[in-house]
A and B are shown apart, each in its own frame.
Chain A
Amino acid sequence: MSQLVGEPVQPAKTEYKWRKSEPAALQLSREFAGARPHILLIMLIALGALLLLSLALGSALIPFDQIVTVLLSGEADQPAWTHIVLKFRLPKTLTAMFAGMALGVSGLLMQTYFRNPLAEPFVLGVSAGASLGVALVVLTTGAVGGALLAGLGLAGDLLMTVAAGLGAAMTMLLVLLVAIRIQSSVSLLILGLMFGYLVAAMVSLLLYFALPERIQAYINWTFGSFGGVTNEQLPVLAGIVLAGLLLSAALTKALNALLLGEDYARSLGANLKRTRIGIVLATALLVSAVTAFCGPIAFIGIAVPHLCRGLLASADHRLLLPGTCLAGACVALCASLIAELPGNNLVLPLNVVTALMGAPVVMLVVLRGARGQL
């Protein structure tokens, strides 16, 4: 019970009012009543539309019928177009989709586990941990010529991902260790931020002693991009993300139980230790793959779970998990489309767009929380 007292950490729209007289399972089912699972279908349709849109729109202007021709394994009128659709837009679109899914779900896992509406990989310093792993690889190994996922070939990709994963898992573990002792969400957030700063300081130290060109490569990476993944690299990214998603799916029941606090989760038969390990592993897999391939992408992780809870009107992870998957993919594709500024030659850094889209959601959550407290 003690965990439920203290900071109000309810996700937006859903209030968990604990009534002592009722059994936990009954309460959960009450909480999950009134959900709107049909929204999932709408999300699926939206995802389909966005996937098509992402293939159709880009800096280069290619007529839609040409895109369809190429997708139906034909040749476009101009050879460059075939190439652009198959080797640029297709991997970019799929990368955005997988990255969005991974970030959305990892945000959900962390928000539920920490019972903190602001928890997400970026805020709690987990992305920073992954960054440290990447910085170590990029700035110290022979990654050549401003190449980031390069120079070492596929082995390099895996090395980067493993380094990012270790960094992410280490930070996640640290945050977890602290979370066991400290229940206050504000304290946890502050500690997460401090972890982030500490890691950033270590990265700065590495940067200080690194060659300028390597620094440039690292800085480019921090801007975030879905466009750097080629068709050869895509299976690695997709494989790791799918593994993380499957693991998350296996945790659904335990995550639902966790909504009521660790004590009640235990009383409902959840194996807390295994759940905790599962969450750390899943988050590390999801965050590290995305961070290594696309850079530390901010705000998708925090915004998407809130968006889903609102849209689905539910805190049930059986709905939220597919929901954050779909919505994450949609949001990432939207961000990617906006960053590309279709019809314009320029591209914006991805993180600028995700911040512009995500920061208002965070502000909304904070303002709602503040109103609830007053």
Chain B
Amino acid sequence: MKATLLALFIVFNSLLPASALDENLTDGCVADYSADVDYFPDKIEIVDASKFTVEYFNNYKVLRVADAFDGAPGFNYVLVQCGTPAPSPADFAEGTQFIDVPSGDLITLSTTQLPALSQLGLLDHLAGVDSGFYISSPEVVRMIADGAVAEVGFGAEVNIELVLELQPQLVMSYGYNPATDAHPVLLEAGIFTALDASWRELSPLGRAEWLKFTALFYNLEARASAIYQDIAAQYEAVKAKAAAVAAEDRPRVLINSFLGYADAWFIPGEETYVGRLIRDAGGDLLLAEAGSATSQGLSFEVAFEGGFDADIWLVETFGIYSGDDLLALDSRFGDFAAFQSGDIWNNNRDENANGGNNYYEWGVTNPHLALADLVAIFHPDLMPEREFAFYRRLASE
């Protein structure tokens, strides 16, 4: 009897050699672990993102997030194939979190994390969000209305009891200010919390590539890579169109959002996310600091001096839907040349009832859409038929 079993075992093993897995396990656990098997035949390669890295081992992957917020320490995660032994915590830096993958239910604390879930087909795993108030995704809104998805707070301010009750395997948070962030509280409560640093990425494609970060927790590397490749190709195609424009035909673009105190304008630097989008769309950003990856506060006077004759003005400000809204803000805005020529735009075409802007949700993982919008604004002849995804012209009624 014993010999028969042994023989069967040998035969079985020879039928399943070490390289037998030809795709990642996206469902369930490994029943018969073998140290020689590579459990992650599908691996990601990070192309544009710079804030996370992943290192593959046979039955686990080590995920590292850097620069999650100003002065952030490195965050390390060990993602262990479920059903296989986890490596010893002693071999990793203190604070390293361990999680079995493919993971189960998750809670997201930022709307920017939702598109990846729907693109990867993971919405069934969504147990909670921070708040539905600003969410654009119709599926998620419906799930909240049906009670399938709970609301646990607002941004990084979470109600820890609600989170504990949902028993998520994974919470996707983000860091901003460790004194008020959710992650120290969640970690204290023993909940696996992954920090999403995508908002720190400066390249539009780099930010979109964070879809792979989410995919790592569900062994969906192959699907994520395919989706990303498609997005990147579309982005590059649009960019190539705009790059063909002669230097003198590039419009001078003023872009700002009124987030500073009364008379300060915040103008993004050339190397910021927005600065790169404008450049890739074939526009010249006015007043931008060369080589700067941060925004600078300028006085209204200086902004006017440098921007009053801009060809196009992108007013990326909440609640502005028309030229009149802009005039109500300050009558002096009417003196800008772009205002008079009607070339003023805002990125709030696709908003939910509460003013939650899909540009900051779907647009983040699909930068090619925002880029194509911008190209159509800067060079209408290149995209005459463009149906805008996020931008609207602010007409004066």
Q: Which residues of A contact B (CB under 8 A)?
A: 58-60, 79-81, 83-84, 87-89, 144-148, 150-153, 156, 211, 213, 216, 219-221, 223-225, 227-228, 230-232, 295, 340, 345-347, 349
Contacts and interface: CB of A to CB of B under 8 A. Distances in A.
A216 B259 contact: yes
Contact of A147 (B304, B328, B335): B328
Contacts of B263: 225, 227-228, 347
Given A80-B308, A228-B330, A295-B262, A145 B317 contact: yes
Interface in B269-313: 296-302, 304-305, 308-309
B314 to A, nearest CB: 14
Contacts of A219: 261
Interface of B: 258-264, 296-302, 304-305, 308-309, 317-320, 325, 328-332, 335, 354-355
Specify which of B258, B317, B329, B355 lies most central, judged by the most chain A CB atoms within 10 Å of its CB.
Answer: B329
A308 B302 CA distance: 35
A228 B258 CA distance: 12
Given A145-B258, A145-B317, A216-B259, A84 B304 contact: yes
Contact of B301 (A88, A148, A151, A228): A88
A213 B301 CA distance: 24
- Can you list the 6 inter-chain pairs with the closest CB atoms, starting with the nearest? A145-B319, A227-B263, A225-B262, A223-B261, A59-B299, A147-B329
6 contacts: A59-B298, A79-B308, A81-B305, A84-B304, A340-B299, A347-B264
Given A60-B305, A88-B301, 20 more contacts: A59-B299, A59-B302, A60-B301, A60-B304, A80-B305, A84-B304, A88-B300, A144-B325, A145-B320, A145-B325, A150-B330, A151-B325, A152-B328, A211-B354, A219-B261, A225-B263, A227-B300, A231-B331, A340-B299, A347-B298
Given A153-B328, A346-B298, A227 B262 contact: yes
A349 B319 contact: no
Nearest to A156: B328
Contacts of B355: 211, 213
A209 B188 CA distance: 28
Given A147-B329, A151-B328, A216-B259, A58 B335 contact: no
B244 to A, nearest CB: 33
B59 to A, nearest CB: 44
B113 to A, nearest CB: 18
Nearest to A219: B261
A114 B76 CA distance: 62
Given A213-B319, A228-B330, A220 B261 contact: yes
Contacts of B325: 144-145, 147, 151
Given A84-B301, A220-B261, A345-B298, A213 B331 contact: no
A150 B259 CA distance: 15
A345 B227 CA distance: 43
Contacts of A152: 328
Given A80-B308, A145-B325, A347 B318 contact: no
Contact of B331 (A60, A83, A232, A345): A232
Contacts of B264: 346-347
Contacts of B335: 83, 87
Nearest to B331: A230
B305 A346 contact: no
B332 A87 contact: yes
Contact of B299 (A58, A213, A228): A58
A60 B352 CA distance: 40
A88 B297 CA distance: 17
A84 B329 CA distance: 18
Nearest to A78: B305
Nearest to A216: B259
Contacts of B318: 145-146, 213
Contacts of B300: 88, 227
Nearest to A153: B328
A345 B269 CA distance: 14
Contacts of B305: 60, 80-81, 84
A347 B297 contact: yes
Contact of A83 (B260, B262, B304, B328): B304
B296 A345 contact: yes
A345 B328 contact: no
B304 A80 contact: yes
Contacts of B319: 144-147, 213
Given A60-B305, A225-B262, A228-B263, A345 B329 contact: no
Given A59-B302, A60-B305, A147-B329, A228 B259 contact: no
B261 A59 contact: no
Contacts of B308: 79-80, 83
A146 B299 contact: no
A156 B325 CA distance: 13
Contacts of A228: 262-263, 330
A150 B299 contact: no
A78 B309 CA distance: 12
A340 B296 CA distance: 15
Contacts of A146: 258-259, 317-319, 329
A230 B332 CA distance: 8
Nearest to B327: A150
Contacts of A84: 301, 304-305
Given A146-B258, A211-B355, A230-B332, A345 B302 contact: yes
B214 to A, nearest CB: 25
A219 to B, nearest CB: 8
B181 to A, nearest CB: 17
